[in-house]
Structure 1
Amino acid sequence: KEGYEGTLMVNKFPFFIIFLELDPSVVDFNVHPKKLHVRFEKEELLYNKVYNIIRSLVDEKFIEEEAKYISTDLNNFIPSNEIQVEKSEDLLVKNNTELEGVEILTEKEEIFEESVQLDLLDQIAGNQFGKKSFPDSYIRGKYIISKGFPKLRLISYTGQLNNKIYVVLEGTNENNEEGLFLLDQHAASERIKKEKLLATYEKTKIFKQKLIQPLKIEVSPSEKVFLEETLDDIKRLGFKFEHFGGNTFILREIPTIMNKLPDIHIIKEIISDITEIGKDKSFKDVKEEIINYLACHKSIRGGDDLSLKDIRNLLVELAACKDSYHCAHGRPTLKFISYKELDKLFKRTV
């Protein structure tokens, strides 16, 4: 389970068969009357070896090569008699080149193409014939309604869909196939926040901001015990709590990725939730789960309206992640549909 961590969705588990060749003298088979459990002489060494083997394969198959498998299969929408096996030369994979860096354009470097916007009557807006000029936002937001025809309109100029969960992009995958990408804005933001929190926890230099006016927070007795036992670990995540007395704590610092001071009720909710997560285990055992929770809590949400700058920053930061293709809970951040698949869907090719 830990070897697959971060690549499977919640409540999904890997199927596995493990073969171990060991000296029988290092295994105690008499731990359980029904032999349901055994004890190894060097459990930590064995655990690390099995974990590293599994994790290396997971990294290779689910992370490093993920872009090859995120394409949405459209064959279900194509009649079976029209699906033909592609020629072998079409299946050759081109040599991959690693991304050495992410190009970031400043506003001055942005290139805008001049375009002509047509109004709903297919006339050039504001032309010499005196046609009324419609604002771009009006044209994009106006549905075309006709009996026997679907209710349609243009998507927003940012590519963000109306449900404000997905963003439509176009590009090229690592196999040099051109097509459309669908971005889940919450999943992408959650991955970015998780890796930042992990980096903060694992580094001695913590990026945090002091509060001009510290928050005084009242907690429950169980939350008090949890905070007292984990103050140093929580501090490594960027939160600096001090025990003020009784069930009262003072919050003096928060991690910079929180951007601004959250409402005191949100801080109380965070304390309550991470206490519940870690009540029966040590912080080390639930560190990943707590970080996943915090990453989810401070991410862009489904329903948040994003600007062009927001979406571009999201893509730049996602591209720099170690695992760009999964959120903190294992869901995909991107899905790809090639133009070749669209051609098959519209029967331009068979």
Structure 2
Amino acid sequence: MNAPRPNMSPDLPQIRQLDDTVINRIAAGEVVERPASAVKELVENALDAGATRIEVTVSHGGKTLIRVTDDGCGIPGPDLPLALSRHATSKIDGSDLLDIRSFGFRGEALPSLGAVGRLTITSRTPGAEAHAISCTGGALGPVKPAALTSGTVVELRELFYATPARLKFLRSDRAETQAITEVVKRLAMAEPFVGFTLRDETSGEPRVTFRADAQSGDLFDALAGRLATVLGRDFAENAVRLDAEREGVHLTGYAALPTYSRGSSVAQFLFVNGRPVQDKVLIGALRGAYADYLSRDRYPAAVLFLDVDPQRVDVNVHPAKSEVRFREPGVARGLIVTGIRHALADAGHRASTTVANEVLGTFTAEQSAVPRVYQMDRPAQERAQSYSWPAPVIGQMGFAEAPAGRVDEAPQSADEAATHHPLGAARGQVHENYIIAQTEDGMVIVDQHAAHERLVYEKLKRQMAENGVAAQALLIPEIVELSPDDAATLLAHGETFARMGLALEPFGPGTIAVRETPAILGEINAEAMLRDVLDELDDIGESQLVQERIEAILSRVACHGSIRSGRRMRAEEMNALLREMEATPHSGQCNHGRPTYVELKLHDIERLFGRR
């Protein structure tokens, strides 16, 4: 602790004013962490300039070249030196930092890039001549005439050449290129009416690695088309539309069905006023919206856009502008949770189409080691014998004595009109667990236990919502000692906990008395639960722990109260289960997020047998 500090003089320290070059390099360390950060700043500038087409060209992961070309309004020649000055911007006038309606506003990106690389800006405004300016390692060059049709071209070469130590912290060219691609894709999702092109010149020949043409139509159609380009058709086909508003906050976007879940959070994209952000409140809200439909090792896929009055959100939190701070975080969180849950409920029993695709992918033709012999290649006598079919032996063909299971065929007259329903009419049961139903254009395979478990669970939840959570009074209240701040935090949410059957009362400074607990939870450790609740409140500003534990109990009760695997069902029972599934929201997945049924279209089945 008392070791001498090598960078400090033993004499009285002297305060010095750093020169602009050093200041810009320090700022660059915050604004430009890697080539992807530079691409983000330059593309955002192009969007602020009103561009409708943006082209990004990189080489060696952006380490040797980053070029961004746009057709925006351009920069007047006399203003080019000012554009490379710190804290010079056309986005705001500085009178109100809480009324920010553009991507950029700090005026740090261009001077920071010019301080650590070789930067050239060529621009032309309508009705004027084109001009160019260069900045190398912070040294500004003169403004020169240039040739350009319109818009702006920003070229950055040898990023971090002026700060070579930063190059050691960069990853491989492939990893940096992937990070740039992710940045461009996020911004492309935010601006569906703008065309984006990403090229890679590492091999010498420009190669297009990503392209998203400008969309047309209304906002939702344009966004759906852009998401299909960026995230793939599977996401677009298996996502529900979001359009909800609450207390002046508007939520739009698309959220995928629970059965279209991922193994990580790579398919979660959040935007606030069109700006890509990483916010723990919003991420926690997205997780909470799917908490009842996914297991903890699965992650939802969603693209969410929150539009809010700029006065109610602070984007000036970090130089990279990737973090925001809401004045009322509870409103934003509640809107996401309710908006997604209502949209998923409106989807009814729908399950993702990728489930059927995965099933079809497991069917592979068995490869025989014996060479294929065609009919006309056989001897005449063998061909004649091949036409006489022996009578099948009962049990040999696997029907009457199939060791793996049994098929119980439902009567064909059991309601032929049921085939017109989404889940069709039951035709049989195999292995005493799977219902086979015929639809108008295919077939459906239903896991009877998983499906009925979800139906019972939804019924229990409805009963709890209608009648409330029954509370059990403790004979001796449990006294929990906390810090005064923690106790005040819990008591501030006392009304919410009371609706869940948890009654809290103050019992002196920093002390809480737990007088009632949810009856369905049985005997619990109140102190441990309250501390877990505090951790969740500190992390995301709202706790769903008590509700999640209650719903976990309901899920367990539903599991034990549902149709068991191995039970034989009559045709009318199977059809009743199918009709109830169609009428119950979220019945497309079980309580753990797995699909309750698989639908195979007739043309897919015919393709399996080579009929198409």
Q: Which structure is larger by alpha-carbon Rg, 1 or 2?
A: 2
Q: Which has the higher contact order (CA 8 A, sep 6+)?
A: 1
- Given the two structures, how large is their TM-score scaled by the length of structure 1? 0.49
